[in-house]
């Protein structure tokens, strides 16, 4: 490296002393405006560190806190919502749905609560999914679609191990006395309840087995039982698949969806809003 500055003959600019293959590097200074901007940014950063919390355990001269600001905003929002939420708690879901003002508020609040707590299983539009997640956007209800029934289902949940949870467990008939040929015959009969049987002989063999083992919960014609959560088998709505193999697996190994109880997790006003919202998604019952 050169010990004395050397200037480029063409531009008159000093060089750094670096040279490669006959090409020399010019020592071009930064523009003054760029340096002034850098210095101003450094000064601004120092002032900001003094005024606002920027280091661990340093609150800053102004004492500003985004957490405190958030808490204040939340408190203000809760204060604004408190009168309406009090009305939501005091009214029944049916009364809320009958009041235009309360219904509009409940649908808006219920939509948000549904997206936060329910959409993970039932889908963003309540469409459900094959695999045990019921659709809430149709008029087929496992435990009833009235305001009271929906409210109870949300409150206590389904087969979650709590004393008041709804639903009855289905036996696994592969270990409860039926052979696989009998299970396949029952599956064929179940298919015949909602359409022509693919194998009429198998369906005929399955009918008496169904009458002996399944009628108590699902009904003689497969109409289901909402008190027990036994699904209707005479429509074409299937929680776990409607082909013969899927139905045979359901009979052999049993099915039983689980839903948590929301009464200890959500405010009563939120449960009422969810009830009104879910009721409005599909063909809710009166």
Looking at domain 75-163+259-281, its CATH architecture is: Orthogonal Bundle (1.10)
Residues 278, 204: Cα–Cα separation, whole Å: 40
In the block, tokens 């531009």 appear at 11
Domain extent listing, the chain: 15-51, 75-163+259-281, 180-253
CATH topology of domain 180-253: Cytochrome Bc1 Complex; Chain D, domain 2 (1.10.760)
Dump pLDDT digits (tens) for 216-240: 999 999 999 999 999 999 998 999 9
Indicate the range of 54-58, 73-77, 181-185 predicted with least confidence: 54-58
pTM of the model: 0.76
pLDDT band at 21 (very low <50, low <70, confident <90, very high): confident
The SS3 assignment for 259 reads: strand
Whole-number Cα distances in Å, 274 to 35, 157, 160, 209, 255: 59, 14, 20, 41, 26
% the chain with pLDDT above 90 = 69
pLDDT band at 158 (very low <50, low <70, confident <90, very high): very high
Cβ atoms of residues 143 and 166 within 8 Å: yes
Dump pLDDT digits (tens) for 110-122: 999 999 999 999 9
pLDDT band at 139 (very low <50, low <70, confident <90, very high): confident
Dump pLDDT digits (tens) for 79-101: 999 999 999 999 999 999 999 99
268-281 vs 147-156: helix axis angle to the nearest 10?
130
**Backbone region of residue 4 per phi and psi (left: phi > 0; alpha: psi in -120 to 50; beta: other values):** beta
* Domains 75-163+259-281 and 180-253 in one fold: yes
Q: How many Å is the Cα radius of gyration of the chain?
A: 35
Indicate the range of 22-26, 66-70, 246-250 predicted with least confidence: 22-26
Report residue 2 CA to chain centroid gap.
69
What is the pLDDT, as a whole number, of residue 267?
A: 95
Residue 270 tokens read as 């939120």
Q: Where are the beta strands (DSSP E) in the chain?
A: 15-20, 23-26
Task: Count CB-CB contacts under 10 A for residue 238.
Answer: 16
What is the pLDDT, as a whole number, of residue 53?
A: 87
Residues 151, 156: Cα–Cα separation, whole Å: 9
Residues 274, 271: Cα–Cα separation, whole Å: 5
In the block, tokens 């969810």 appear at 274
Cβ atoms of residues 259 and 118 within 8 Å: no
pLDDT band at 204 (very low <50, low <70, confident <90, very high): very high
Q: Which residue has the higher pLDDT, 257 or 39?
A: 39
Cβ atoms of residues 62 and 51 within 8 Å: yes
Does residue 60 register a pLDDT over 80? Answer: yes
pLDDT band at 3 (very low <50, low <70, confident <90, very high): low
Whole-number Cα distances in Å, 19 to 15, 28, 258: 9, 15, 76
């Amino acid at each position: 490296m050169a010990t004395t500055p050397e200037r480029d003959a063409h531009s008159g600019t000093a060089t750094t002393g670096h040279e490669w293959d006959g090409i020399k590097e010019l020592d071009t200074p930064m523009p003054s405006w760029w340096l002034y901007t850098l210095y101003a940014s450094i000064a601004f950063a120092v002032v900001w560190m003094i005024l606002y919390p920027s280091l661990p355990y340093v609150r800053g001269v102004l004492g500003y806190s985004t957490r405190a600001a958030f808490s204040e905003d939340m408190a203000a929002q809760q204060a604004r919502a408190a009168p309406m939420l009090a009305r939501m708690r005091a009214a029944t879901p049916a009364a809320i749905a009958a009041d235009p003002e309360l219904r509009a508020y409940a649908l808006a609040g219920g939509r948000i609560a549904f997206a936060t707590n329910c959409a993970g299983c039932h889908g963003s539009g309540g469409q459900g999914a094959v695999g045990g997640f019921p659709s809430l956007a149709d008029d087929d209800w496992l435990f009833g679609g009235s305001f009271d029934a929906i409210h109870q289902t949300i409150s206590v949940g389904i087969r979650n191990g709590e004393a008041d949870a709804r639903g009855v467990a289905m036996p696994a008939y592969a270990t409860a006395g039926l052979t696989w040929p009998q299970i396949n015959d029952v599956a064929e009969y179940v298919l015949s309840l909602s359409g022509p049987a693919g194998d009429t002989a198998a369906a005929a063999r399955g009918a008496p087995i169904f009458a002996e083992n399944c009628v108590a919960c699902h009904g003689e014609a497969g109409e289901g039982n909402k008190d027990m959560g036994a699904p209707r088998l005479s429509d074409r709505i299937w929680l776990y698949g409607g082909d013969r193999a899927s139905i045979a697996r359901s009979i052999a190994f049993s099915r039983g969806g689980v839903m948590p109880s929301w009464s200890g997790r959500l405010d009563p006003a939120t449960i009422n809003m969810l009830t009104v919202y879910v009721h409005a998604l599909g063909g809710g019952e009166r």
